[in-house]
Structure 1
Amino acid sequence: MSSITVGVVTGANKGIGLAIVRKLALQYEGTPGGNPFLIYLTSRDERRGEEALKGITSDAEVKKAKVLVADGGTVDIKHHLLDIADETSIKDFTDFLKKEYSQGINFVINNAGIAMNGFDPDTNVVDNTLKTNYYGTLHASLNFLPLIKPHGRLVNVASMVGGLSKYSSSIQSRFLSAASIADVNSIVEDFRSSVLAGTEQKDGWPRSAYAVSKAGVIGLTRAIAAQEEWKARGILINSCCPGWVRTDMTRGGGVKTPDQGAETPVLLAVGDIGESTGLFWQNERPIRW
């Protein structure tokens, strides 16, 4: 019996996430009778997720390529609920995967995230942004990693706005020297404390919860990749910026299409990247954080 390749894409009902699922399906080099490839398109809303699944399985290019099982190919796509801001939802999905795929899964692309208007802590923008983008990605990563097979991949989608150039030199140094998840957590919580005190700019932070949440994702990805448990199993763990992509999140701005934005995440999940791990990527290459 042939083995099955299993991948997970979070936040995949629209935008870059949906484009990632589509590109994974289109570029898979399986053949009829070969190893099947199953992609989990996850979303926090069941109706939107099912609509996205229906859309992608009826996509003209996907149908023409005949990659789907229904068309004689080896690729199957399924929807599953997952809200990365809810630890119970993460646990329910990982328990499901553990039960269904006792031999493990092959890769996860953590794409889910939010971009809220404003900054005022009284509107909970900071707390909600950090809860989803930073802590949600952290909890999802730590829950998924034990399920990933040796030599599998974990990809965390971050952003260039998480670059360190707009931080004070002391905060830059803290991020770059962070050796553990606890170190990165401490940095993120210090940002939150500065915002609550109204001193974030004086303390050397950019006035953007989204930017700090994505810097946190880059930092935590580096810290997780350095852990001996995952290094010993050969799991490649990287973060990336898909670029400035025209999606709902960018409110129509951007210079890339979602398909172009999917290039780097897909490369990191299934492409040839050697043994690269713990790096931050953009435009299909590692870049300086």
Structure 2
Amino acid sequence: MASYNRVAAVTGGNKGIGLAIVRQLALQYPKSSFNSGPFLIYLTARNQERGEKALQDINDDAQLKKAKALKSDGGLAEIKYLPLDIDSQDSIKSFAEQIGKSHPKGIDFLINNAAVALDGFDADVVKKTLHSNYYGALELTKHLLPHMVDGGRFVHLASTASILDSKYSASIRKRFLEATETRQITDLMEEFTTAVEKNDYKSNWPGAAYKVSKAGLAGLTKTMALENGDRVLINCADPGYVNTDMTKGRGTKTPDEGAQLPVHLALGDIGGTHGKFWRHGEVSAWERV
């Protein structure tokens, strides 16, 4: 394998914000403080055909060619596809093993963009949504943190929906905010699932699986940071309301605009923030009542 000074991986990188993050990493790396030479970016996707199509689109991208960002045009970045399905523990383990084998010194950046936003609301939708957006993110973090270099950056894509608002009861908000262990956040996710199964959620929880899953992700970011020290900085970013398939084309930001904050948290000077929720380019309050 060719030698690379920096290595990144982006989950859900075949379209939308994920694909834009891959592009922006390649474009912004040369001027970043992390530029120390050749840069490998893994574009990951659960579907090989879509992942390889995205890779081809990236290699043909006019802006990247004009900027001479890619190795094929004399630049620093090389982009490769690797399969990763965060809905599958086996896929996550295989990906982590591949990273460990290919990069025994570790990788520098991981941006976890992969998520689902399903229509409807019932117990089945809740289970599927949490399985990907919360439990998948938890497994990814546990398995990939050991394969990251000291000073690495781990960024989860949160959402405006992550904010703890008045649709949660005061007691549930308090438990989210005071949690210091990931098990406490997982307990909340399990309680939400059970409450929906029993149709007994309305006094404590919003009737929105995606919203709760993203609150869980923000909580996970905070507790994993507390539990793992500051060897790797873990933060989460709200990219804003981006025009993607997930927003059914109703977003007001372009994918490239939505990619700016997570890319900044990977490549920029973030003042050593750890376990924080970022919105509008800065650390933001997680609670809004």
The bucket for the TM-score relative to the shorter chain is: over 0.9
Partner of 1:262 in structure 2?
A: 259
Partner of 1:128 in structure 2?
A: 128
Q: Post-superposition shift, 1:2?
A: 7.1
Q: Post-superposition shift, 1:3?
A: 5.2
Contact 2:4 2:39 in 1 (8 A): no
Q: Which structure 2 residues correspond to residues 45-60 of structure 1 after superposition, within 5 A?
A: 45-60=47-62
Q: Deviations over 1:12-39 (max 9, x none)?
A: 10000000000000112179x9610000
AA partner of residue 100 (structure 1):
S
Q: Of the candidates 249, 253, 278, which is equivalent to residue 250 of structure 2? A: 253
Partner of 2:270 in structure 1?
A: 273
Compared CA separation, residues 82 and 3, structure 1 to 2 (3 A): closer
AA partner of residue 226 (structure 1):
L
Query: Number of paired residues?
Result: 282
AA partner of residue 43 (structure 2):
L
Partner of 2:84 in structure 1?
A: 82
Give the SS at the match of 2:26.
helix
Q: Which structure 2 residues correspond to residues 1-289 of structure 1 after superposition, within 5 A?
A: 4-29=5-30, 35-121=37-123, 124-165=124-165, 166-202=167-203, 204-227=204-227, 229-231=228-230, 233=231, 235-289=232-286
Q: Deviations over 1:236-257 (max 9, x none)?
A: 1101110000000000111111
Q: Post-superposition shift, 1:193?
A: 0.7
Contact 1:2 1:35 in 2 (8 A): no
AA partner of residue 199 (structure 1):
D
Q: Deviations over 1:115-157 (max 9, x none)?
A: 0000022xx2111000000000110011110111111110011
TM-score normalised over the length of structure 1: 0.95
Give the SS at the match of 2:217.
helix
Structure 1 outlier segments of 4+, above 3 Å:
none
Give the SS at the match of 1:135.
helix
Q: Where do 5+ consecutive residues of structure 2 fail to align?
A: none
Q: How large is the RMSD of aligned CA atoms in angstroms?
A: 1.6
Contact 1:30 1:36 in 2 (8 A): no
Q: Post-superposition shift, 1:230?
A: 3.1
Task: Quote the Cα distance in structure 2 between the aligned partners of 1:106 and 1:140.
Answer: 15
Task: Quote the Cα distance in structure 2 between the aligned partners of 1:98 and 1:4.
Answer: 16
AA partner of residue 267 (structure 2):
V
Task: Quote the Cα distance in structure 2 between the aligned partners of 1:2 and 1:209.
Answer: 43
Contact 2:225 2:275 in 1 (8 A): yes
Q: Deviations over 1:30-66 (max 9, x none)?
A: 79x9610000000000000000000011010001111
Compared CA separation, residues 12 and 192, structure 1 to 2 (3 A): same
More deviation, 277-286/13-22: 277-286
AA partner of residue 5 (structure 1):
R
AA partner of residue 83 (structure 2):
L
Task: Quote the Cα distance in structure 2 between the aligned partners of 1:254 and 1:30.
Answer: 29
AA partner of residue 161 (structure 1):
A
TM-score normalised over the length of structure 2: 0.95
Contact 1:34 1:74 in 2 (8 A): no
Q: Deviations over 1:40-97 (max 9, x none)?
A: 0000000000000000110100011111111111110000100001000000011001
Contact 1:163 1:215 in 2 (8 A): yes
Compared CA separation, residues 94 and 221, structure 1 to 2 (3 A): same
Identity %: 49
Compared CA separation, residues 85 and 284, structure 1 to 2 (3 A): same
Task: Quote the Cα distance in structure 1 between the aligned partners of 2:36 and 2:18.
Answer: 26
AA partner of residue 172 (structure 1):
R
Give the SS at the match of 1:226.
helix
Q: Post-superposition shift, 1:179?
A: 0.8
Contact 2:6 2:36 in 1 (8 A): no
Task: Quote the Cα distance in structure 1 between the aligned partners of 2:95 and 2:229.
Answer: 21
Give the SS at the match of 1:150.
strand
Task: Quote the Cα distance in structure 1 between the aligned partners of 2:102 and 2:199.
Answer: 48
Compared CA separation, residues 266 and 23, structure 1 to 2 (3 A): same
AA partner of residue 271 (structure 1):
G
